[in-house]
Amino acid sequence: MESTSLIAETASRLLRHHCDPQTLNSSASDDWQGPAWAALEAAGLPLAWVPEDLGGAGISLEDGFGLLSLAGRYAVPLPLAETLLAGWLLAQGEIAVPPGMLTCAPTRRGDKLRLAREGTLSGRLRAVPFAKAAKHLAVLAEGEDGRSGTIALIELAKARVADGRSIAGEALNTVSLEAVHPIVTRDAPAGLDGETLLAMGAAARAMQMSGALAAVLDIAVAYANERVAFERPIAKFQAVQHNLARLAGEAAAAMAAAGSAANAIATALAAPPDRLPRVARGFDDALFLEVAAAKIRVGEAAGVGAGIAHQVLGAIGFTREHVLHRFTQRLWAWRDDFDNESAWAVRLGTLIAARGSEGLWPLLASR
């Protein structure tokens, strides 16, 4: 385990060197990908959430979430978050984690994978990010009784992976499994179910998005100070200032909501010092509020924030040449991963209604 600042420092250095948005944007090929991933792997970052005895770096949940926010600031076009999440899931089953790019599923409520008695997996998984690029898939499946959870590691070559891309142009695939033999399966620990995985994924995406929004704000502010129109920098126009102030408000809300959810998960799922970081208990209402609110509010901020940034940058921000789209397109794409704002809002609203009016303030104040 390394210290928080050392991890952030290492990650910043590597991302600056290998994933600079301008360099990647100008690159004609994907040749940068291999060396970039190798460098991240060498530093142990993709397997941050895997304990050392299972082949990972054993970094705390909180530091891992911090790493994802940083990755968002660079709009990293690699399955870093997906590999972190897959590694975390496999570690919950004490499954040794293979090297290389991983992804995980289900990422949508309602998608189910069934484990047959003979040990094969079947089912259809929508919107699995980077399934075309990754070699292995970590899944949470249900037993035939529809209840007991199983964690499994699958070779993606054995699945049917449909072509598909997100609005950001990244692989986003429907994965179909028909009686696929997994590499290994383990019972999921008590308390870990589809909701837990979805919540981890939603919090991870919220952190990436809050980082991307901070970058978008920086880009828009820098541009407004440089761009001259009507004989002065457009930053001097009050209409532009007020739009950017609104963008700052959205970025701030995203930062607060995502950071709070990540902190809440890290605290709730933290392991005692002598134990591996495992799921100790399921998500209570307070933790659900934190995660749902983060995915909803950050998703809203992404929509508003990306819109303002494009307005400030005008035509140049609409070109392929400018880096802005690397951030805004991912913000739009990430809103939909691990369920969108509307899906989370229906769930949260249903919970609040069931708790009743008297239960609302105590729940909010408990955070």
Partner 1 sequence: MSSALTFDPIRLPPECDRLREEVRAFLDEEIAAGTYDPQEPGNDHGFSPAFSRKVGAKGWIGMTWPKQYGGHERSFLERYVVTEEFRVANAPVRLHFVADRQSGPVLLKYANERIKQDVLPRICRGEVCFAIGMSEPGSGSDLFAASTRASKSKGGWLINGTKVWTSNAHHADYLIGLFRTSPATKENRRHGLTQFLVDMKTPGITVNPIYQMTGQHDFNEVVFQDAFMPDDHVLGEVDGAWKQATSELAYERSGPERFLETFYVLQELVRVLGANPDLRGAEGLGRLVAQVHALRRMSVSVAGMLHAGKEPVVEAAIVKDVGTIWEQALPHRARELAAFVEEGASNRATFEEQLRFATLIAPKLTIQGGTTEILRGIIARGLGLR
Residue 284, phi-psi category: left (phi > 0), alpha (psi -120 to 50), beta (remainder): beta
Distance, in Å, from the CA atom of 114 to the CA atom of 110, rounded to the nearest integer, reads 12
Candidate residues 7, 71, 152, 296; the one interacting with partner 1 per rule CB under 8 A: 296
Cβ 60 to partner 1, closest distance in Å? 14
Residue 239's alpha-carbon distances to 58, 89, 220, 244, 272, in angstroms, are 48, 47, 14, 9, 52
Helical pair 194-226 and 61-73, crossing angle rounded to 10 deg: 40
Question: Bridge partners of 172?
Answer: 129
Nearer residue to partner 1 within complex by CB, 139 or 348: 348
Nearer residue to partner 1 within complex by CB, 115 or 348: 348
Q: Per CB under 8 A, does 241 bind partner 1?
A: yes
Q: Per CB under 8 A, does 341 bind partner 1?
A: yes
Cβ 9 to partner 1, closest distance in Å? 15
Candidate residues 43, 167, 256, 268; the one interacting with partner 1 per rule CB under 8 A: 256
Q: Per CB under 8 A, does 70 bind partner 1?
A: no
- Stretch in the footprint of partner 1 (CB under 8 A) among 9-17, 97-105, 130-138, 336-344: 336-344
Q: Per CB under 8 A, does 349 bind partner 1?
A: yes
R_g (Cα) of the chain, nearest Å: 21
Cβ 64 to partner 1, closest distance in Å? 15
**Using CB atoms within 10 A of its CB, is residue 5 exposed (0-12), middle (13-18) or buried (19+)?**
exposed
Site for partner 1 in 186-215 (CB under 8 A): 214-215
Would the CA dihedral through 361, 362, 365, 367 be positive or negative? Answer: negative
- Segment (H or E) for 270: none
Nearer residue to partner 1 within complex by CB, 294 or 302: 294
- Stretch in the footprint of partner 1 (CB under 8 A) among 82-90, 115-123, 138-146, 355-363: 355-363
Candidate residues 103, 166, 260, 329; the one interacting with partner 1 per rule CB under 8 A: 260
Distance, in Å, from the CA atom of 205 to the CA atom of 287, rounded to the nearest integer, reads 16
Candidate residues 108, 132, 297, 330; the one interacting with partner 1 per rule CB under 8 A: 297
Nearer residue to partner 1 within complex by CB, 185 or 243: 243
Cβ 268 to partner 1, closest distance in Å? 12
Nearer residue to partner 1 within complex by CB, 44 or 259: 259
Distance, in Å, from the CA atom of 182 to the CA atom of 120, rounded to the nearest integer, reads 7
- Segment (H or E) for 182: none
- Stretch in the footprint of partner 1 (CB under 8 A) among 22-30, 150-158, 179-187, 250-258: 250-258
Q: Per CB under 8 A, does 268 bind partner 1?
A: no
Distance, in Å, from the CA atom of 345 to the CA atom of 364, rounded to the nearest integer, reads 15
Cβ 3 to partner 1, closest distance in Å? 17
Distance, in Å, from the CA atom of 300 to the CA atom of 236, rounded to the nearest integer, reads 27
Residue 210's alpha-carbon distances to 84, 243, 251, 259, in angstroms, are 18, 18, 7, 8
Question: Bridge partners of 164?
Answer: none
- Stretch in the footprint of partner 1 (CB under 8 A) among 85-93, 144-152, 186-194, 246-254: 246-254
Helix (H, G, I), strand (E, B) or coil at 340: coil
Binding residues for partner 1 (CB under 8 A) = 214-215, 217-218, 221, 224-225, 235-236, 238, 240-242, 244-246, 248-249, 251-253, 255-257, 259-260, 262-264, 289-290, 292-294, 296-297, 300, 341-342, 344-350, 352-354, 356-357, 360-361, 364-365, 367
